[in-house]
A and B are shown apart, each in its own frame.
Chain A
Amino acid sequence: MLPELIILGIFLIVFLCDTFTPDNGKKFLTPLTSVLFLLATVAIWIVPSCQESVFGGMYVDNAACKAMKCVLNVGAFICFLEASKWISTKEVVIRKGEFFELILITLFGMYLMISARHFLLFIIGLESASLPIAALVAFNKHKYESHEAAIKYIMTAVFSSAILLTGLSFVYAFSGGSLYFSDIAAQISAGEMSGLLLFALAFVLAGIGFKLSLVPFHLWTADVYQGAPTAVTAYLSVVSKGAAAFAFFIIFVQVFGQVYSAAWEWMLYAVIIATITIGNLFAMRQKNMKRFMAFSSVSQAGYVMLGAMAADELGLASMMFYILVYVVSNLGAFAVISTIEDRTGYVGMDDYNGLHKTNPYLAVAMTLAMFSLAGIPPFAGFFSKILIFTSVTGTNSMALYMLVLIALINTIISLYYYLLVVKAMWISSDAPKIESFKAGCTEKTALWICVLGIVFLGLVSYVYQYFVSSVGASALLSLN
């Protein structure tokens, strides 16, 4: 329980500090939270868990879960740094404390999602991870878009949780009376495939697919990403999505592993193709950077899901690595977007025309992020993509091979629109709209972390191997 407790501890500290300091004395909150958070991450990473499975197997904290949580922490940390400028603006500074508190609680919920081995705990984690985000999305009260995004988000979230609960109730019918993952796994087998189980699977898939924004459960994504404050969008696009992906893998592989090839493999197959393709098709027309990133993240989610398609240790490790890389790449892009938005208010792709003339370093960082997202070597995105493709094709099934082919063909479309951004920044001959400015120190730190991650995560194989070994040490897939 260490990670959760640490997070709750930080939450309490922040909460108390926020409550008992005057409105004009909250400058220290950002550094405080960031530093505490950094320490917490290190602690989570280093301190071994004394007991792997507690509460009668309801909660498990093993090496793999820890690694996943660390990945999420990296994302959250960068989000904190990116948010610092925005959160200090006069419209929202009053809610500065709440921002950190809510983020920390969502993080707590995500930890539970990853560590839960019981659907009750899982659903609580899921709700903790999604409901406060609605409040975060509505953070920019002075902006209409923020409201619209919030209502769209909450409505879809609640609907999806209704669907998820219904699905779980159907799952429950098959569970033999217990909602522990291991018990359900022992009960469900391919032999008794029935319509109800399929509906159960489809509804659970839909419920988690909402968080991952898989097609066709993704339609909220673009509007919410566009309307939400950029820091929240960033958080939503990587951390929330990453946690959902991990939970997805654990649930579908661990609980429904028995009916993998019979049922949900094919659902996932269809969903992945739709996700990658539709995400790409929408992304290529977008002119608003945040909306653009939303569709890009939809399509990226499809690639993430390829790891679940592989449904083995290698798949999970590749997926973790993919998400880590995705975290740094996407947050790199968002760091640039938010830096520019905070200074100038521009978020259109055309506004980036000629960026390299005025802000070359931002342009370089954005370019690297785009290349990494597109999977261009030697940047990390290339490695994560290839590793996940490798893990999928490992089963030697022609169908999966074709799936990878479709995914690969889609990388070309994605390359197209990522290059559009690069084109705007470097090639477009229009006069630059954005004037030259100096980024703040937190933003610079965030950018540096992202850029270093983009450049070195792939070239240094240590991280991936760490994931592989942690997955291997966790016996995650054995049906204990």
Chain B
Amino acid sequence: MFGNILIWFVIIPVLMMAGLGVCRNSSMAAIRAVMVIGSTILLALAIWLCVDFLALRGAGVDDEMLFTGSWMWYAPLNIHLAVGVDGISVLMLLLSAVIVFAGTFASWKINPLPKNFFLWFALLSTGVFGFFISIDMFTMFMFYEVALIPMYLLIGVWGTGRKEYSAMKLTLMLMGGSAFLMLGLLGIYWHSAPAGGELTWNILEIARNNAVDPSWQNLLFCFTFVGFGVLGAMFPFHTWSPDGHACAPTAVSMLHAGVLMKLGGYGCFRIAIYLLPAAANELAWIFIILTGISVVYGAFSACVQTDLKYINAYSSVSHCGMVLFALLMLNQTAMTGAILQMLSHGLMTALFFALIGMIYGRTHTRDIREMGGLMQIMPYLGVCYMIAGFASLGLPGLSGFVAEMTIFFGAWEDADMFHRAFVVAATCSIVITAVYILRVVGKLLLGKVHDEHHLQLTDATWFERFSTVTLIVCIAGIGFFPNWINETIQHSFLPIIHALQNAI
């Protein structure tokens, strides 16, 4: 069991938690050491996994999932701890590792209760990593919830503003989603094998059996898609996002928007679409409408917000809507674009939230009406903010452009009027994105200094620079050399595409 590299993605955060457990609450150095070492190992592990994976693929290993392992857990219900990764999971693990790494540095000076903060933070990471390595629906769902619940305390204790309300709202809405999800998963489980066959939670086997009764598929698809869609901030279940993000501490916003929201998209194709392909073909249109609305609606809403985090949260609604939107196009290119968008949005939003946190830490306000001309005062942060903004509005050379273009070109493949109309609407969002990004950049960074007190503020510290540079390098990396990622993802989508085509 411990010979499988994937298991270590869960073990290491758990060890981090154990390590934190023995630290004293006051010894910041020890806590930081544990976190930095842990997250560095995770990042190294993720890179190593990525390299290894590509090498294996390059060597012609053509299995759907690599590094698979399966250990019986709850035998009566055939629940396994089953792990395995395809290209998408590998990239998601990499993304998570990068963001955990950056998040660690972004919360370098967290206060109060640093130990508890990092404990929950590590638990959250456990859930995220566990989710991405799982190919058993049960463990997947378990890790999914493991990732959700620390948010409550992380926001509630270390957040700002209306934190109690927001934390509660976020938790309840996400858990509400996961209630539907659970029901969907149960339904899939009980239909996972043809009559007389052994029921299973294993995603690959379920897909192979393809035995879900068509009369149930539609219902289950709605449940699972909505369940994951809530976390993917799908209209009209997105309202946790603005409040939640606005109140969350920096690293939590980063991890939440950067990784956690990706769990939604990931689950949507890995479970809802892959396992229920007939329903996906049949019902995609409903969710195309909803996600299409998300895309435009989020962007428009972002235009008039005044709180930096609200702007970003609505922007996330728009971008994550794009992810789901692309997935629902049900073709390889668009779905590839969706994954690229997940990666891109993950990195870029993490960067955004990190920067907002840093700015807020200095100015103690997030209201753009109370700030201005920060570029003169903190040029480093200003430049980073602009880079993040450009990534968000899809500037070539940064990751957002690659993702959006792949989505649009994929989405355009469906030639009927309905799809076309929604794609055109979705493309409009890039203009609106430009509008609100530039609005913020203009008000926040450029122009005259609004508050004389701000002139005394300092630019980024070394750990802040470290955190942001990591993310920017990744964003630019994807933006410049997207093709290896693109190919990896495309290859991983083949089974899903086959399933969808067979189901027509």
Contacts and interface: CB of A to CB of B under 8 A. Distances in A.
Query: Do the two chains touch directly in the complex (Cβ atoms below 8 Å apart)?
Result: yes
Interface of A: 314, 317, 356, 371, 376-378, 382-383, 386-387, 389-390, 393-394, 396, 401, 404-405, 408-409, 411-412, 415-416, 419, 422-423, 426-427, 461, 464-465, 468
A416 B182 CA distance: 18
Contacts, number: 86
Interface in B133-157: 138, 141-143, 145-146, 149, 152-153, 156-157
A409 B177 CA distance: 9
Given A314-B76, A422-B153, A412 B179 contact: yes
A91 to B, nearest CB: 38
A464 B142 contact: no
Interface string B172-195: 100110011011001101110000
Given A404-B186, A422-B152, A461 B74 contact: yes
Given A412-B175, A412-B176, A415-B172, A427 B163 contact: yes
Interface in B116-170: 138, 141-143, 145-146, 149, 152-153, 156-157, 163-164, 167-168
Contacts of B189: 390
A427 B120 CA distance: 14
B255 to A, nearest CB: 18
A165 B152 CA distance: 49
Given A396-B191, A412-B172, 20 more contacts: A376-B149, A377-B146, A382-B142, A390-B77, A390-B189, A393-B187, A404-B183, A405-B180, A408-B179, A411-B175, A412-B179, A415-B171, A416-B168, A419-B152, A426-B156, A427-B153, A427-B157, A464-B74, A465-B74, A468-B76
B182 A401 contact: no
A426 B190 CA distance: 40
Given A382-B142, A401-B183, A409-B179, A387 B77 contact: yes
Nearest to A459: B73
Interface in B189-212: 189-191
Contacts of B75: 461, 465
Contacts of A461: 73-75, 79
Nearest to A394: B190
Chain A interface main SS type: helix
A387 B77 CA distance: 8
Contacts of B171: 415, 419
B186 A389 contact: yes
Contacts of A468: 76
Interface string B91-113: 00000000000000000000001
Given A377-B145, A382-B145, A419-B168, A396 B163 contact: no
Contacts of A412: 172, 175-176, 179
Nearest to A393: B186
Contact of A423 (B73, B149, B156, B191): B156
A465 B78 CA distance: 11
Nearest to B199: A394
A386 B180 CA distance: 13
A371 B157 contact: no
Contacts of A376: 145, 149
